[in-house]
Amino acid sequence: MNTLHEPADHSATFRFYAELNDFLPVERRGHPFDHTFHGSPGVRDAIEAIGVPHAEVDLIIANGVSVDFGYRLKAGDAVSVYPVFEAFDISPVVRLRPEPLRETRFILDVHLGKLARALRLLGIDCAWENRLGDQEIIDRSLLEHRIILTRDVALLKSGAVTHGYWVRSTDPKAQPREVIDRFDLRGQVRPFTRCTVCNGSIEPADPGQAMLEAPETVRGWCREYFRCSGCGKLYWKGSHFTNLSDYISRILG
């Protein structure tokens, strides 16, 4: 009589670097630990089983060699996992995606509307709508080459996601600084060049037409106007301009 046996557990050593440790329990952060598995799973499945979304991973080193997500784990493997390096090109060693993103663009989930408006104020290209579902966010991310920003770790674990980042802070005032620093975006900051409402480009407006649309209290002193190329919203440098400039300075530190 034949007896069926469960496959024996195997073990590999993992170490996660930098902010990937945010997804790990305290006792696993910053040092190697053993991960047990059955059979020969793909390393991406093992990484997500440990708790880290694959979309935040940009470099995997197994036994001293760069591998892709399809690499099959073997007993005794030593695996090092590094976060997304959007700020510089690691294409000579990484093979997880064809190429890193160069023009940094984002799409944000429905819960990050305040962050979207703040980043748009800085001139960062941010797609956001309060009715987008998870699949729509993923589809637009792939179609428009956008990095997903979210507070939902489960969204980043979708197999279709290629670029994503879990926003650590829950404070809307701290989130813009976190994103700017994480993606090294200071060189891309162009304040007041994007519409905070629709993400369209802000361009000089025809003064004559703008004077017809501006409030009477503004027409008396303002001669320079700007218009969103997307939604048509009219802008001018009113009393709020100084307050917004101070807010931008605080974000940039």
Closest CA to 244 of 110, 120, 108, 106: 120
179 and 115 in contact (C-beta within 8 Å)?
A: yes
Low-confidence ranges of the chain (pLDDT < 70): 1-8, 85-103
Any idea where the domains of the chain sit in the sequence?
10-83, 106-187, 202-252
Structure token pair of residue 243: 């307050």
Of the chain, the percentage scoring pLDDT greater than 90 comes to 77
Q: Is the alpha carbon torsion for 89, 92, 93, 96 positive or negative? A: positive
Q: Measure the CA–CA gap between 216 and 222, rounded to whole angstroms.
A: 10
pLDDT digits (tens, 9 = 90+) for 29-85: 999 999 999 999 999 999 999 999 999 998 999 998 899 999 999 999 999 999 876
Q: What is the per-residue pLDDT for 92?
A: 55
Q: What is the per-residue pLDDT for 253?
A: 82
Q: What is the per-residue pLDDT for 9?
A: 86
195 and 231 in contact (C-beta within 8 Å)?
A: yes
The residue written with tokens 């919203």 in the block is 233
Provide the whole-model pTM.
Answer: 0.77
Q: Measure the CA–CA gap between 163 and 151, rounded to whole angstroms.
A: 14
SS3 20: helix
Name residues whose C-beta falls within 8 Å of residue 219's C-beta, 6 or more positions apart in sequence. 211
Q: Measure the CA–CA gap between 138 and 136, rounded to whole angstroms.
A: 5
Instruction: Give Cα 78 to chain centroid, integer Å.
Output: 28
Q: What is the per-residue pLDDT for 85?
A: 64
Q: What is the per-residue pLDDT for 96?
A: 56
Closest CA to 74 of 38, 49, 28: 38
List the CATH code of the domain at 10-83.
3.10.20.30
Name residues whose C-beta falls within 8 Å of residue 157's C-beta, 6 or more positions apart in sequence. 48, 53, 54, 55
Residue 55 per-residue DSSP state: G
SS3 194: strand
- Can you count the helices (H) and strands (E) in the chain? 8, 12
Q: What is the per-residue pLDDT for 2?
A: 46
Q: Measure the CA–CA gap between 239 and 22, rounded to whole angstroms.
A: 41
Residue 171 per-residue DSSP state: -
Q: Measure the CA–CA gap between 4 and 119, rounded to whole angstroms.
A: 58
